[in-house]
Structure 1
Amino acid sequence: MKTFNVRSAVARFSFTTLVVALLLVCAPFLSKANANNEKEVLLTEKQVSIQYAGYNDNSVVFRVKFENPTAQKFSLIIKNEAGDVLFQGKYSDTAFNKAVHILKEEAEMNPTFIIRVGNQKVEQTFSVSSNTDVVEDVVVTRI
C-alpha cells in the first residue's frame, strides 16, 4: 500500500500555486513589452509621389506611389472638395504603386490624396478642370 505524504503534497500544491500566480502577474507586462516592436518611422513628402496619369472613360487617372521601406501599415484616402471620402484603402506594401481612377462628374474638381501612417499624414490636393470643345467642320462645294 502506498503511503501518502502530506508534506510533499502541500509542497507541490504551493509550488504550483506560486508558478501560476507569477504567470498571471507577469503576463500583462510581457505583452506590453512586445507591443512596441514596430517603431514609427517619420513620414516625409519625398516618400509620396502622386501624378496625373490621364483621362480614361469619364474618369481622371492618378498614379500614386509610396516608398515604405519598413512595410508599415498605411492608409490611402481620397476626398473631394466637400470632404467626402471617395476612396479608402489600407496597405503595407514596401513599394506601393497604384493607378487610381476618379469618376469625373463635374467640369472642375479638387481631389485630396492623403497617405496616413499612424498619426502622421501627407496631403496633396489637385485642381482638375476640363474643357470640352466641339469642332464642326463645314465643307461647301460648287455644283
Structure 2
Amino acid sequence: MLRAAREAGPHLVHHAGETAGPASVREALTAGRAERIGHGIRVLKDPELVAELRRRRVPLEVRPSSNVLLGLVPSLAEHPLPRLVEAGLTATLNTDGETSLTAEYQRTRETFGYSDAQLAHLARASTESSFAPEAWKTQVSAEIDRWLSR
C-alpha cells in the first residue's frame, strides 16, 4: 500500500525521533520511505544515522517550542537545534500550532543568539526542502536574500 501511495505522487513525511529514539527515524527512512522527518531531535544519539541523514539530505522538521511544551526537552536553551545544525543536518524551523512561526524564529534568535545569517540559513533549508514548485522556491529564496541584505 505504501508503494502504491508513493507511486501516486504524495510525499512521505513521518513523525519520528521525537518521543522515540533514533531507531524510529531509521524505520521511517527504510520501511516508511520518508522524504522528511517530523521532529527527529533524538538522531544525535546515533552517529551513523546522523551521517546517513546528512548524506541523503533528509530534512528534519524541528519544533523547539512544541518539544518543550510536551516535556521532551527541559527548556528552549537545552534544545538540540544548534547541535543538529552543527552536525550538518538539514534542519528546518517549524511549529505544531502552539505558537506562530514568527515567534519560533524570534525565540530561536533570543535563545541561541542566532544572527540574521543563521536564521536565513534555517529559512533557506525550509524553502529548499519543501515540496513546493521550483518557481516558488526561487521566489522565496530571493525574498530571503533581500531580507538578509537589508
TM-score, normalised with respect to structure 2: 0.19
Which structure dedicates a bigger proportion of its chain to helix?
A: 2
Q: Which protein has the larger Cα radius of gyration, Structure 1 or Structure 2? A: 1
Does 1 or 2 have the higher relative contact order (CA < 8 Å, sep 6+)?
1
TM-score, scaled relative to structure 1: 0.20
